[in-house]
Homo-oligomer: A and B are copies of this chain.
Amino acid sequence: GLSTAAQNISMYGHYTQDLGAYAKEEAARLREKSGRRPSATERSLSLENPDYDNGRCGKCCSCMLRCKKFLIACVGEDWIFLILLGLFMGLISWGMDYGIDYCLHAQKWVYMSLENNVFLQYLAWVTHAVVLITFSAGFTQLLGSHAVGSGIPEMKTILRGVVLKEYLTCKTFVAKVVSLTSALGSGMPLGKEGPFVHIACLCAAMLSRFMSVFGNVYQNKTRYIEMLSAASAVGLASCFAAPIGGVLFSIEATGTVFLVRNYWRGFLAATISALFFRILAVWDTEEETITALFKTRFSTDFPFDLKELLAFAVLGIASGILGALFVYLNRLIFEFIRNQNFIKNFFMKRRLLYPVLVTILISTLTFPPGFGQFMGSQLTQKESLLSFFDNRTWSKPGTAEDYDYPDFSYAWKHPQVNVFVTLGLFVFMKFWMSALAITMPVPCGSFIPTFVIGAAFGRLAGECMAAWFPDGIYSDGTVYPIVPGAYAVAGAAALSGAVSHTVSTAVIIFELTGQISYLLPVMIAVILANVVAQSFQPSLYDSMIKIKKLPYLPELGWGHNEKYNIRVKDFMTRDVTYITLNCCYRDLQDVLQAGDHLKTLALLKSSQSRILLGSIERVELQAVVSQQLGRPRRLEYLRERAAAKRKRQSVVSHLSSEGISQKATLEVRFQVNQVWSSTPRRTSLCLQRLHSIFCLEPSEKKAMAASLSLHDSSPRLQIEEWEESQLDEPVDFDNCKIEPAPFQLVEHTSLHKTHTMFSLLRLDHAYVTSIGRLIGMVSLKELQKAIDGSLEVKGAKVRPPMASLRDVRSSSCNIEIEATELHKLWDQYNSRSLPRKHLPSDSDEKS
C-alpha cells in the first residue's frame, strides 16, 4: 500500500515524468472548461446584479440586496472564518478524545471482566487492537490512501506552494477522522497530533470552499495558503489546549518562511479552539474548571539548583542522540519494507496483513499480565504521561507529601524488579515499537509517542539523579530534594523536539503542564537536543518527505559557510526547454511530448536573441495544440469537407449526429462556433496524432472512423499530408495566457540567496538570465542537488566540484557580489557560442 500511495502522490502532485496522466488531465480540463456551468460565485454575483427589479418590490429588493452584500462582506472577514475554524476543531478534538477514551475503557473493561482466564484476557486484548487497527487501515484504503500517516510532511509541501489536491478533499477528511479515532482507540503507541494538523487544514479547506459561496475572497490563492497555515496552528492547539505552542510548532514544522502579518490569525484561531476544547471538557463535568491537560505540581519557590543545569544539559544531548536514532530507525524500517522485493510483493497483495502483524506483535509484548507488567502496560499513554510528571520520587518510597491526586506509580513499582528496570524497559521497548507502529498504513502521528518515550527517559534520568543525591542538593544552608518529574518534563520536550527539529516543544510542554518554572532547564535541554539531532539526521517530517518523494527544499544546514560561495552558475541547468514566439505547432508538440517535469515553459523572443519574454503554463500550450488538432476542429473539418464535396450540408449534420450521441453534437456545435469565430483558419486532422493528445473513448473512436469512411473517400495519405502542413504553421499565441514576469536569477546569485528566494516566494523554478537573455534555469531539483552537495562537504574530504577556486577571491568582495560589470556581461553575450535551437529529439532520448 505504501508504494502505491507514493505513486498516487506523484501523480496528483503534477511533477510526474509520465505524459499519459498529463494528457488525460488536460483532456478532462478542457472538457470541463467547455462544458462548465457558471460557478456558485458567478451565480451569486449575477443574483446580486440589481438590474432585475421586477415591478413594485424593487425597493424592498434593493434593500435586501444591500443587507446581503453587508452579510457577505462580514462573512468575507478573516476573523469569522478563524473563529468558525477554531470552534469546529475544538469540537472535533473533544469528540475524538471522547471516542478514543471510550474505546480504551472498553478494552480495559473487557480485560478486567475476564480476570479469571489469562488466555481469554490475552485474546480479548489482542483482538481489540487488531480489530480497531484493521478497521482503521481498511477504512483508509477504502476512501483513498491520502489519509495515511501524519500529514505534516504533506502540509509542509502544500504550504511550500505545491498543489497536492487530493490531500484536501472531503473524503480524506472523513477517512482521517474516523480512522484516526479507531487507530488511537486500539492502544497502539500512535499519536493524535500530526494527523490533527492535517485534519485542521482539511477543515479549513472545506470551510473555505463552503464560504466561497458568500464571498469570492476565498478563491484567492495567497489567502488560501495563509488560512491553511493558520489552520495548521489550530491542529496542535486543539489537541493540547496549547495555543502558543501550537502556533509556534506549526510555524517551525510546516513553514520555511513566515509572514508576521499572519501571526494573529494563528493565535486567534488556536486560542478559540483551545478554549472551546477545554470548555467542552468542563461542560462534560470531566473537569472542574479550565486547567492544563497534564497538570504538574512542582514547587515554584526553589525549582532547581544551578548545578542541576548540567544534568539537564546532559539529558538534552542524550535525547538528541535518541531522537536522531528514532528517525534513522523509522527510515530503516520503511526502506526495508519497500526495498525487499519479496516482502513488498507479499504485503502489496495482502494490504491489511502488515498492520495486523504489527499490531499482534506489539499487543502481545504489551499484554499486561505477560511481559507488559515490566513496562507499565496497564496504563494508557495519557496515564503514563501523568505518572511520569508526578512530583514524588519513586526510588525513595514514603517521601511524598500529599496523596490527594491520582497516583499511577503502582504500575512502575513492580515487586520483582526496581523502578530503573521498568523505566528502562519501557524506553527501550516503546522506542522500537513506536518507530515500527508509525509505519502502519493508518492515520497516525509520531509526536505523542516520542513525547511519552522522552518523558520516560527523563524520568529515568531524574530517578537516577535522585538515587545519586538521595538527600538532594545542598545550597546556601538549605537542602533541596531533586524532582524527577521535572526531568521527565525536560526529557519529553527534548526528545519530541529532537525528532521534529523544533524548539517550540518547550512552549508546548509549559502549556501542557501548566507550569513554567523550569523554563531555562527545559530550554537548554531542547536546544541541545536540537543541535545534536540536527547534525545527525533530518527531522522525521523531512525524512518522510524524502521517503514519499514529495517535492521538497532541504533546509540549509547551519554554519556551512560554503553556501555563500556557491553561485547559481555552478548548479543551474543550461538545458532549458523553451519555445519561441515564431515557433510552429510541430515544435510545440515535440516540446510537450518530451518528458519534462515542469509545469511552465519559457517563452523566448527568438532562439537567436534568447530574450526571455515570459513563461507559459504547459496546460495552456496543450490547449493551444489541442485546439489546432482537437475534436471540434476535426468535426468542423469533416463538415467542411462534406459540404465542399457533396454540397449537402443539412444531411451531413444529421449523419454525424447518428454517429455520436445527440448531446455531444450539440456541445460540439457550440464549440465549433466558438472556435470558428475566434480563429477562422484551415484545419486538418489525423487520428493517430489525435490519439496521442486526446484519449478517445472506444465508442467515439468507432463513430469517428465510421463517419470518416462514410464522408471521406479520399486516401489516408492526403489527410496526413494536410495534417503535416497544419503542424508547420506558426503558433498563434494570441489566446494563450502568459506570465510576463517569471522569477529571474543571475549567474552570480549565491546558493544562500537562491535558497532564501525559493523559500520566501515558494518558487518551484526560476530562470537565470543575463541582460534579458535566458541562459539557464534552476528548479527545485537542481537546488536540492546543490544543497546536498554542499552539505556533504562538511563531514568529508571532497570539496564541492563547483565551488572551484573561488572561495578566497570572491568572498573578499561578496558584499556587492550581485552586481556585475557590464562589459563582462556583454563579453559573455558575444562570446557565448550561439545557442542551438532546442532539439526535442534530445530530450526524447533522455525520457
Contacts and interface: CB of A to CB of B under 8 A. Distances in A.
Contact of A260 (B252, B302, B511, B818): B252
A740 B756 CA distance: 19
Nearest to A271: B523
Interface string A40-64: 0110010010000000000000000
A641 interface: no
A735 to B, nearest CB: 6
Given A221-B815, A520-B271, A740-B771, A475 B300 contact: no
Nearest to A558: B78
A612 B504 CA distance: 46
Given A220-B814, A289-B302, A753-B222, A244 B739 contact: no
A736 B821 CA distance: 5
A74 to B, nearest CB: 9
Contacts of A752: 220, 222-223
Given A267-B527, A520-B290, A825 B740 contact: yes
Given A511-B519, A737-B820, A740-B771, A219 B815 contact: yes
A807 to B, nearest CB: 9
A561 interface: yes
Given A271-B524, A823-B734, A260 B258 contact: yes
A534 to B, nearest CB: 8
Interface stretch (A183-191, A273-281, A410-418, A701-709): A273-281
A24 to B, nearest CB: 21
A780 interface: no
Interface stretch (A366-374, A429-437, A741-749): A741-749
B244 A507 contact: yes
Interface in A500-523: 503, 506-507, 510-511, 514-517, 519-520, 523
Interface in A214-243: 215-217, 219-223, 241, 243
A303 B290 CA distance: 8
11 contacts: A220-B752, A256-B259, A289-B304, A290-B304, A292-B517, A620-B819, A735-B821, A738-B822, A740-B746, A741-B769, A772-B772
A161 interface: no
Nearest to A770: B740
Q: Which of A215, A256, A519, A523 has the most CB of B within 10 A?
A: A519
Contact of A514 (B222, B517, B613): B517
Contact of A220 (B260, B511, B564, B745): B564
Interface in A689-747: 733-741, 744-746
Interface string A802-833: 00000010011011101111110100000000
A617 interface: yes
Contacts of A772: 605, 611-613, 772
A116 to B, nearest CB: 39
A288 B474 CA distance: 12
A79 B770 contact: no
Interface in A243-269: 243-244, 248, 251-252, 255-261, 263-264, 267-268
Contacts of A510: 510, 516
A271 B514 CA distance: 20
A475 B288 contact: yes
A819 B739 CA distance: 4
B814 A264 contact: no
Nearest to A44: B812
Given A78-B558, A278-B520, 10 more contacts: A76-B561, A219-B811, A221-B815, A261-B556, A735-B823, A736-B821, A738-B825, A740-B746, A741-B745, A772-B772
A261 B261 CA distance: 18
A760 interface: yes
Taking the full assembly, how many copies of this chain does it contain? Answer: 2
A664 interface: no
A820 B735 CA distance: 9
A617 B821 CA distance: 12
A841 to B, nearest CB: 27
Contacts of A507: 244, 507
B516 A759 contact: no
Contacts of A517: 291-292, 514-515
Contacts of A739: 746, 818-819
Contacts of A260: 251-252, 255-258
Nearest to A257: B259
A476 interface: yes
Nearest to A244: B507
B252 A559 contact: no
A282 interface: yes
A555 interface: yes
The 4 closest A-B pairs by CB, nearest first: A737-B819, A734-B823, A77-B559, A258-B258
A476 B289 CA distance: 10
Contacts of A823: 733-735
A820 B264 CA distance: 34
A558 B264 contact: yes
A256 B41 CA distance: 33
A317 to B, nearest CB: 15
Nearest to A581: B822
A520 B217 CA distance: 31
Contacts of A531: 79
B306 A282 contact: yes
Contacts of A223: 564, 752
A530 interface: yes
Contacts of A304: 289-290
A290 to B, nearest CB: 6
Contacts of A77: 559
For A41, A516, A770, the residue with the greatest tally of chain B CB atoms inside 10 Å of its CB is: A516
Contacts of A475: 288-289
A759 to B, nearest CB: 7
A297 B515 CA distance: 12
A819 B741 CA distance: 9
Nearest to A739: B819
A761 interface: yes
A264 B527 CA distance: 8
Nearest to A278: B520
A295 interface: yes
Given A216-B811, A819-B738, A759 B261 contact: yes
A814 B219 contact: yes
A822 B733 contact: yes
A90 to B, nearest CB: 12
A614 interface: yes
A305 interface: yes
Interface string A782-817: 000000000000000000000000001001101110
Contact of A515 (B222, B263, B515, B734): B515
A179 to B, nearest CB: 30
Contacts of A771: 613-614, 740
A3 to B, nearest CB: 31
A642 to B, nearest CB: 32
A522 to B, nearest CB: 10
A222 B759 CA distance: 14
A520 B271 CA distance: 7
Contacts of A288: 302, 475-476
